Amino acid sequence: MTQRDKIHRMKSSYILGMIVFLLAACVPASAASTPLPPSGTVLFQDEFENNESGWRRLANEIGVMDYDQGGYRMLVRQPQMNFWSTPQKYFRDARIEVDVARLGGPTENRAAIICRYQKGDYYFFMISNDGYYAIGKFIAGQMTLLGQNEMQASELIQADSVNHLRADCIGDSLTFYINYNLIAGAKDADLAGGDVGVLAGSFAQPGADLLFDNFIALQP
């Protein structure tokens, strides 16, 4: 190998090394983040036994949101109103499950899991104790149902016993299970990640009183 060849090879190696360095420097930190945990890994779990686990607490003339009876209670004292609360987490994809029971008030109510909550926007997976369900989103103050024009009826929903809700938020796919049965699915890409949580609300008649328990978020 001549001296000229050696110099040429050294220059080539230097240039290649600089290209690799620059490409590595341009990769976002998120792209080099820790790999996702295995499917089924618990991302967050709360049985509401510790009243300092991060959920909102309030009690006034509008309603109640607080730890109560070994669960998390939401009492909505005003008509046409929703309460929601989150544990202040962030997930892109998650499988969320919770048990919810009606303590009192009308069966025409709202009880829901929410996912990808960010600055007041979120997806919701909702039931009413009078036997209806929906998937939807709340963005910029506007509620929109996804995959349906109105809440749909289902005999899977129990009026006066515990209902187990599950919501899978994976990519642009939103899937809803009620009492371990697949009930509905939809596609939407407006929200890519955010917090998880629960929601309770009233329709024309106030007094929706719901108790959530056994909240868990899993890696899909």
d(CA 120, CA 116): 10
Parallel, antiparallel, or unpaired: how do β-strands 195-202 and 109-118 relate? antiparallel
Domain ranges, ordered by start, for the chain: 1-33, 37-218
Q: Identify whether the C-beta of residue 114 lies closer than 8 Å to the C-beta of residue 86.
A: yes
Q: What is the pTM of this model?
A: 0.84
Parallel, antiparallel, or unpaired: how do β-strands 82-85 and 94-104 relate? unpaired
Q: Identify whether the C-beta of residue 210 lies closer than 8 Å to the C-beta of residue 111.
A: yes
User: Which CATH superfamily includes the segment(s) 37-218?
Assistant: Exo-inulinase; domain 1 (2.60.120.560)
**How would you write the pLDDT of the chain (220 residues) with one tens digit per residue?**
544 443 344 434 433 333 333 323 333 344 346 688 899 999 999 999 999 999 999 999 999 999 999 999 999 999 999 999 999 999 999 999 999 999 999 999 999 999 999 999 999 999 999 999 999 999 999 999 999 999 999 999 999 999 999 999 999 999 999 999 999 999 999 999 999 999 999 999 999 999 999 999 999 9
Parallel, antiparallel, or unpaired: how do β-strands 195-202 and 132-139 relate? unpaired
- Supply angle C-alpha 84, 56, 130, rounded to 5: 35
